[in-house]
Structure 1
Amino acid sequence: MASEEIRTATSTPIRSSAGTGADSETPSTRAWRTRLVVVGIVLTALNLRPAITSLGALLEEVRDGLGMSGSVAGLLTSVPPLCFAVFGVMAPRLARRFGAAAVVGAGMVAITAGLVIRPYAGGTAGFLAASALALMGIAVSNVLMPVIVKRWFPDRVGSMTGLYSMALALGTSAAAAVTVPLTDALGGSWQSGLAVWAGLAAAAVLPWIPLVRARGGAGGSHGFGSSEAAGGSHGLGSSEAAAAAAPQEADGLRITRSRTAWALAVFFGLQATAAYITMGWMAQIFRDAGVAAGTAGLLLAVTMVMGVPLAFVIPRLATRLPHQGPIAVVLGACGLAGYAGLYFAPAAGAWAWALLLGVSNCAFPLALTMVGMRARTGAGVAKLSAFAQSTGYLISIPGPLLVGVLYQHSGGWGLPIALMAGLMIPQIVVGIVAGRNRTVEEEAAR
């Protein structure tokens, strides 16, 4: 599988230094593997947010059931970025050792187990521990999805990033929209309403099993070395000679020397702060404004579902522009307008604010697309993805927690919403910097 993971159905095969014999595969076999990867990418993306948004829809019930204060609930909404930062940095090393497909497949197993255990763990500590297990699986998959796209589809980074971003948004919005109705249909138990999403995660394990088995039979390198790293460097006009040098080039890449890498990390962190505050608290903002629980869940779903079409359009547009900064400005302006609406008329214009914040949250697929564009090689993408996401999620940890503290001690949503709006300004600025047409390899070399 080591050499198969670097091809699209139409790309020219690169001979593996391991001599696995994969070059003798028929075009139909390669096409079948490529289709299987597409299915795996889509199913994996569908599972990267339901563990979070399903909890956001039932946060009040979970708080009451576990006896949480507002500050503890804020800590609960900070757990996702903490886990993404801690576990996401491990993803490239795990992928070098076991292969990206194996790590993503194991991530889906971890999500399944965590979602099954979490509602029935008993007490806040058990709930947090099981949530961390599921979030660990999400974290490694978050980091490796751009790597898999770059490796398998080097000439279609924008469209494939759009596809899995769209699937991610669909899974996010579906969990927000149907968790409350599902809970009612299952007898009103919030435990059942949260556990039901384990079934979707279990389905996402299946496509990766034959890919991992084929990889084991190939007997090639397990990591980013040899053919895998070479294959990842096809994209964005690099030559086969550059591809052959990719492993050595990536090994010496000092990612922290790149201003673009830091700008992208901060941009990722600020958009993640906004996203997790939205997923964790927006339904509660509407409920406190007098909106019914079911309607509040639908409003959160509307915010999330905006990412379905825009997550496909934005990456394709971004790859056609020499500078992605203007997109970051438009998305930030929508966020500022949405927060202003939540502050002044949360119930009266609820649907409009949900739409505007949904557009603003599409900074996530923009960030993922820029990860693929700001590195020249596949191994460079892996390093940049791990750095930007791990650093970014570390930056995002205090946001949801601070919102919970401000909400509890101020007795309202004025200060938390002002905080959210204030963070949108630096997000726009670093988005402009990260969108410049340059690569981290070039900057690190200087």
Structure 2
Amino acid sequence: MINRNRLFLFALILAAFNLRPGITSVSPVLNGITEDLSMSSMSASLLTSIPLICFGFCSLFAGRLANRYQSEKIITFFIAFIGIATLLRVFSNSSTNLLITALFIGAGIGIVSPLLSGFIKSYFPENAASMIGIYSTSMVIGASISIGLTTPLQHMLNDSWKNGLAFWSIFALVALPLWFLVTKQAQKHTHKSSKKNRASLPLKNKEAWLLTCFVGLVILLFYCFAAWLPAIVEEKGETAAFGGLIGTITMLAQLPATLF
């Protein structure tokens, strides 16, 4: 049991690492992207807004997928999906190709995020609050690493922002072996469990709508900083690396709150 709990904990942490870099890594190299691909400000804004739209929309279908298939398999599949979409950025020779990867990454995050919350509830019911803290902290760490290191990686990898963005597929590569093991372990748990409760959307629940609006505003604030702060710093005359450092500091400042 201890070994299984450790496996599930590490798998949760590595899965959480995959839920932010596909979005936060764009901002430090945004100016380079717009110049190389001749993107307008409107098109550039879609690189961060498209994933968020997909995030919200695709989350609506996560419960249905979990009811139809084993949720751990869905998580594993979409972690791979995020990783492949991130890796494909190395071939982004046009703004259209890059926007398509943003759409795929947002869709993958939208499916995985709510299922990981259910994963915590299923396997860590007695420690759900602390596990949510670990899960949230892991997301912040993933965002911090990607926003701070994308520019240095760009310079290391043939001075290409494409390689800098595609590098973050490594998180999926590391997470997938653990999630294949989790899927096998979870099958035993499923056989012992009673039949699943079919989730439905609480469309008539006022508290659910208030909670949705609250979480939406919090996410809006987070992504406003994550998506634009490094680019704004660079436009003020600083280097892209310094902009990434400011973004990292902003992310790390959230760690105490996410832990507690």
Shorter chain as normaliser: what TM range? over 0.9
Q: Would you say the 8 A contact 1:45–1:171 is kept in 2?
A: yes
SS of corresponding position for 2:191: coil
1:94 to 57, 65, 77: 65
Match of 2:166 in 1: 195
Match of 1:59 in 2: 30
Match of 1:297 in 2: 244
Amino acid across the alignment from 2:257 = L
SS of corresponding position for 2:120: helix
Rounded Cα–Cα distance in structure 2 between residues aligned with 1:298 and 1:277: 16
Q: Would you say the 8 A contact 1:172–1:305 is kept in 2?
A: no
Displacement of 1:289: 2.2
Return closer, same or farther for 1:215/1:145 CA change in 2, 3 Å cut-off.
closer
Amino acid across the alignment from 1:163 = I
Rounded Cα–Cα distance in structure 2 between residues aligned with 1:169 and 1:218: 30
Normalised by the length of structure 1, the TM-score is 0.56
Rounded Cα–Cα distance in structure 2 between residues aligned with 1:176 and 1:218: 37
Rounded Cα–Cα distance in structure 2 between residues aligned with 1:66 and 1:227: 53
Rounded Cα–Cα distance in structure 2 between residues aligned with 1:280 and 1:218: 40
Q: Which has the higher helix share?
A: 2
Return closer, same or farther for 1:121/1:294 CA change in 2, 3 Å cut-off.
closer
1:78 to 38, 41, 49: 49
1:279 aligns with 2:250: no
Give me the CA root mean square deviation.
1.9
1:122 aligns with 2:69: no
Number of equivalent positions: 260
Deviations 1:116-136 (A, max 9, x none): 112314211111112222222
Rounded Cα–Cα distance in structure 2 between residues aligned with 1:149 and 1:216: 16
Amino acid across the alignment from 1:192 = N
Mark the structure with the bigger radius of gyration.
1
Structure 2 regions of 5+ residues with no counterpart?
Answer: none
Match of 1:258 in 2: 205
Displacement of 1:178: 0.8
Displacement of 1:295: 1.1
Among all aligned residue pairs of Structure 1 and Structure 2, give the percentage whose two residues are the same amino acid.
29
Rounded Cα–Cα distance in structure 2 between residues aligned with 1:203 and 1:189: 23
Rounded Cα–Cα distance in structure 1 between residues aligned with 2:195 and 2:40: 49
Rounded Cα–Cα distance in structure 2 between residues aligned with 1:136 and 1:123: 21
Displacement of 1:218: 6.9
Displacement of 1:156: 1.1
Deviations 1:154-194 (A, max 9, x none): 11111000001111100000101111111111121111111
2:127 to 156, 164, 174: 156
1:268 to 215, 220, 224: 215
Rounded Cα–Cα distance in structure 2 between residues aligned with 1:165 and 1:254: 24
The higher-RCO structure (CA 8 Å, 6+ apart) is 2
Q: Would you say the 8 A contact 1:167–1:308 is kept in 2?
A: no
